[in-house]
Structure 1
Amino acid sequence: MNKEVSTTVKIRFSDCDPIGHLNNVKYLEYMLNAREDHVEEFYGFTYEEYLKRTGCVWIAIQNEIAYLKEVKANTKVIISSKTIEMSDRVSKVEILMKSEDEKTINAVLWITVIYFNMRTRQSEVLPPDEKAFFDKYLIEVEEKEFKDRVFHFRKQNKIINGN
């Protein structure tokens, strides 16, 4: 079972600024779209199907993003995602945008989500069978604070790129 899933994406020229770098907001779009694809391809459901079946969905309550290295138009990147924290109501997903060779981290995004019942308009405890399903995919990272994780990746990028 693969706990960290990834896809390759080509950066489109139309998503870049005049000097050919990916616009900041587009990082989010690429990363969130990749996560949605990962959920469908690797976990076997779409958010729409899950909502129809259960009446519940995960609502983002916080995003933290760090831009570590520019991404240029017409390059390919690897976008990976994994669940790094999970409790009865709240989970955290890490999404990385990496160079095609996966040596350089271009951006890191942490999304904190809450399990939410759309009928009652309140958060709920994730049902035990659902929690057990997602616990199988949990990957704990050493750094528990976003700033520490960013520091880790900046240091890793310097080592890889010889700076």
Structure 2
Amino acid sequence: MNLPKIVSSQTKIRFQHCDPFNHLNNGSYIDYFMNHREDQLLKHYDIDIYKMAQTKGISWVSSSNQIAYLKPAFLMEVVTIESQLIYQDSSLLKVEMRMYNEDKTHLKALIWCSFVHFNLLEQARAHHSEDMIKLFESIVTPVDATNFEERLLAFKPTKSKTL
């Protein structure tokens, strides 16, 4: 089975998530990114994080986020969100997510999220199962950057001088 390495979805920016300027509130970007990733994990990889938590007592907890806000997302605008696993090890996942305008001509935000595999019953870090490791190894797509700031530069337009 050939699983997608980059997954994508579209959503509309809603009123309750916006500031008085009709821009998506900075704190709401993370909600949109997380909702996208949860939906795509289930749709493409058959990973139901809530079912895993209930039946196996394991899931992932967010350990860190690095986000850059590049262009505003506006009230009622349709945005395209992409995500990909960029790093994995025995108990950690790092995911890059990008929010664009609907036709992907303007990047609005970039985020790196780290997730620790966690045993809810023991309240401790857990190791991924062999099946999970195989899945992650088949979809991990590292980016050409050693850190978030370097990755961000890859998306900044270069200015050329005209003579």
Deviations 1:8-57 (A, max 9, x none): 11111332222221110111111111111111111113111122343211
Task: Pick one of 104, 124, 127 that aligns with 2:126.
Answer: 124
Tell me, what secondary structure is at the counterpart of 1:125? coil
Measured on the aligned residues, the alpha-carbon RMSD in Å equals 1.6
Alignment of 1:88-99 (within 5 A): 88-99=90-101
- What is the CA–CA distance in structure 2 between the aligned matches of 1:60 and 1:124, rounded to whole Å? 14
Task: Pick one of 38, 43, 61 that aligns with 1:59.
Answer: 61
TM-score under structure 1 normalisation? Answer: 0.90
Task: Pick one of 147, 154, 157 that aligns with 1:155.
Answer: 157
Please tell me whether the aligned partners of residues 68 and 154 of structure 1 are also in contact (alpha carbons under 8 angstroms): no
Task: Pick one of 102, 112, 115 that aligns with 1:113.
Answer: 115
Structure 2 alignment gaps of length 5 or more: none
Using the TM superposition, give the Cα deviation of residue 103 of structure 1 relative to its aligned residue in structure 2, in angstroms.
2.1
TM-score under structure 2 normalisation? Answer: 0.90
Q: Which residue number corresponds to residue 135 of structure 1?
A: 137
Q: Which residue number corresponds to residue 47 of structure 1?
A: 49
Deviations 1:59-89 (A, max 9, x none): 1110111101111111111011110000111
Say whether residues 1:103 and 2:74 are aligned partners. no
Please tell me whether the aligned partners of residues 90 and 114 of structure 1 are also in contact (alpha carbons under 8 angstroms): yes
Which stretch of structure 1 is more off in the superposition, 50-59 or 98-107?
Answer: 50-59
Letter matched to residue 52 of structure 1? Q
**Across the two proteins, how many residue pairs are aligned to each other?**
158
Say whether residues 1:2 and 2:41 are aligned partners. no
- What is the CA–CA distance in structure 2 between the aligned matches of 1:123 and 1:108, rounded to whole Å? 27
Letter matched to residue 62 of structure 2? A
Tell me, what secondary structure is at the counterpart of 2:82? strand
Using the TM superposition, give the Cα deviation of residue 93 of structure 1 relative to its aligned residue in structure 2, in angstroms.
0.7
Structure having the larger proportion of residues in helix = 1
Letter matched to residue 61 of structure 2? I
Q: Which residue number corresponds to residue 29 of structure 1?
A: 31
